[in-house]
Amino acid sequence: MTYAIEHMTDKLCPVCGLKFTETSRGITVDGKPYHDKCITELRCDNCGAIMGYLARDATIEGRNPKMFCAACSKKVIAK
């Protein structure tokens, strides 16, 4: 879920290091704000539910990482 981060203008994005402005849009994960372009949602390829988040330029360990989707109870390859 993306939203305006007006209350976070004194914080820095942990990925790009840039300060949030009043017009910044992003997401907060575990209390840390990220810009939209600095984070990727990991979605289930079966039902489309959000399974987690990955910071830009980060990699998932393993060749084809398999994750368990709590929404549809299926093991899926994270995309």
Burial category of 33 from C-beta neighbours within 10 Å (exposed 0-12, middle 13-18, buried 19 and up): buried
**Residue 20's pLDDT is what?**
84
pLDDT at 55: 77
Quickly list DSSP for 44-60.
-TTT--EEEEEETT---
62 is written with which tokens?
């393993």
The pLDDT tens digits of the residues spanning 49-77 come to 888 888 776 655 655 566 778 888 876 65
On the question of pLDDT at 17 being above 80, the answer is yes
DSSP state of 20: P
How is residue 12 annotated by DSSP? Answer: B
- Hey, what are 3's tokens? 């939203």
pTM (2 d.p.): 0.57
